[in-house]
Amino acid sequence: MNTMTDSWALAWQLITHADSELVHITLLSLQVSATACLVGSLIGLLLGAWLAVAKFPGHGLLVWLVNTLLALPAVVVGLLVYLLLSRSGPLGELGILFTPPAMVVAQSVLVTPLIAALSRRLVLSALAEGGSQLQSLGARPLTASLLMLVHDRMGVVTVLLTAFARAIAEVGAVMIVGGNIAGVTRVMTTTIALETSKGDLALALALGFVLLAVVGAVNGAIGLMQWLANRPERRRPPASGPQPTTLPARALAPDPIAAMAAPLIVVDQATVRFNQLVALNKATLTVNRSDRLILVGANGSGKTTLLRLMHGLLPCDEGRCELLALQPEGRQPRASMLFQRPFLLSLSVKSNIWIGLWLYGVPASERHDRCQRALARVGLLEHAERPARQLSGGQQQRLGLARAWALQPDILFMDEPTASLDPSAKAEIERLIEEVASTGVTIVMSTHNLGQAKRLATRVAYLQGGHLIVQRPVQEFFEGDPLPTEAAQFLQGELGWR
């Protein structure tokens, strides 16, 4: 007698003949474990998202506890739940011991720490990529954390599948709180344990193979849904009627502001440190209304730090950085930022702009119209329903600009917006920047491209090693009196023909 061969044959027979008792046991197993995962996900996903961004005394201890509970033995969970639900226990009046609900409670306790710990790691990874960009749009920490779960929903599905596999395969807890009552609480794992104890190893193995087949079928079904969701899209026919590629400037931006030297932002002796590294050292700078200020300098010179400081994404360790001027409507200037690599949620092109408007507090009645106008302005209207991450690099940068522009900013910060683009895409982004600036929006931008600085800037500032070395009107910077040695050497290296 070959136990393994007999088990395979018996498993196949049980599946093909749809044994009624096996069907009942399988359905109960799926019901209990799926319900436990649903309960665990409602708690665990929220807990994981919160732990990823929360800051409070004892936060590290709570994270340690959640991670430690991953090793909690199923038998211990069963005993704890049994003591809670027994007649003498604090929840004994519920009368659910030795019922499927008690089994759901036990499995929920098992899977919740697993879901919380893994989802926290997902969120931290996603926030490292795009957290500051959501903050730039106005997202609060917990809102950004929950959006990251939506963004990485395939990762969340993997976490839930892992939790489901742990729940449906465990035996100790459901045996203790369920009692393995035939027709009532008997599930696949307790049936396997029972047949093993009776010495029927062939049947026990066969049931184990059936359990693997059931879990495999669930995974296959979810994998199929993922494939259908992510398969290459079919090209949609263009919408009927002409589609605008540009709209009047007034549709997206504030009315042009009369040229004046009214200061918008004042940076005074500002210093920013990252631990022991001084990223910005006593920088002093004023940004005026309708400026096109271009920051130049080598990598690590402090350009991005200065941009983020002015946008409010970084605090000053010393000195100050303030928004000063009120707009004609009596409000503070609005600011938005285009990053070097715009972080796009794994949603449609239109949804990325819509969520940006929602985070920024734009009324619901305006969001659809603003989305349409912003996409039309950058030539992406016909791609509105496409997954944003399927766009080309140049298209993604245009979408990032549309999202920033849709907020109708008075100040637009841009961090090397054309650094990774081909010449054609760079020219397109420059054209769009010119359009934005022509409406009176103040531009503050960093770049390595000195030709781009000459084309776009009204003023140029050079940074090196965290120090703001010199700032001048663009013509004086490139053609005026000799620059400080550091800036002159940088220009000579970048513009050898000068």
pLDDT at residue 302 tops 90: yes
Which of 335, 54, 25 shows the shortest CA–CA distance to 168? 25
Specify the 3-state DSSP secondary structure of 369.
helix
Specify the 3-state DSSP secondary structure of 13.
helix
Ranges in the chain annotated CATH 3.40.50.300 = 249-494
Q: What is the pLDDT of residues 78-88, one digit of tens each?
A: 999 999 999 99
Q: What is the pLDDT of residues 15-61, one digit of tens each?
A: 777 778 888 888 999 999 999 999 999 999 999 999 999 999 999 99
Ranges in the chain annotated CATH 1.10.3720.10 = 3-230
Pairing of strands 318-323, 467-473: unpaired
User: In angstroms, rounded to a whole number, what is the distance separating the alpha carbons of residues 450 and 298?
Assistant: 11
| Joined tokens for residue 417 | 């917006």
Asked if 391 and 383 count as a contact pair (C-beta separation under 8 A), the reply is: yes
- pLDDT score, position 498: 42
User: In angstroms, rounded to a whole number, what is the distance separating the alpha carbons of residues 214 and 223?
Assistant: 14
Asked if 244 and 294 count as a contact pair (C-beta separation under 8 A), the reply is: no
- The string of DSSP codes covering 112-150 is HHHHHHHHHHHHHHHHHHHHHHHHHTT--HHHHHHHHHH
Specify the 3-state DSSP secondary structure of 346.
coil
Per cent of the chain over pLDDT 90 is 66
Interval 352-380 mean pLDDT: 95
The helix (run of H) or strand (run of E) holding residue 303 is helix 303-311
What confidence tier does 364 reach under pLDDT thresholds 50, 70, 90? very high
User: In angstroms, rounded to a whole number, what is the distance separating the alpha carbons of residues 322 and 328?
Assistant: 18
pTM value?
Answer: 0.84
Tallying the residues shown for the chain, one arrives at: 498
| Joined tokens for residue 497 | 């023909």
Which of 256, 252, 47, 216 shows the shortest CA–CA distance to 142? 47
Pairing of strands 459-464, 467-473: antiparallel
Architecture (CATH level 2) of domain 249-494: 3-Layer(aba) Sandwich (3.40)
Place of tokens 């690099």: 393
User: In angstroms, rounded to a whole number, what is the distance separating the alpha carbons of residues 424 and 121?
Assistant: 39
CATH of domain 3-230: 1.10.3720.10
- pLDDT score, position 245: 42
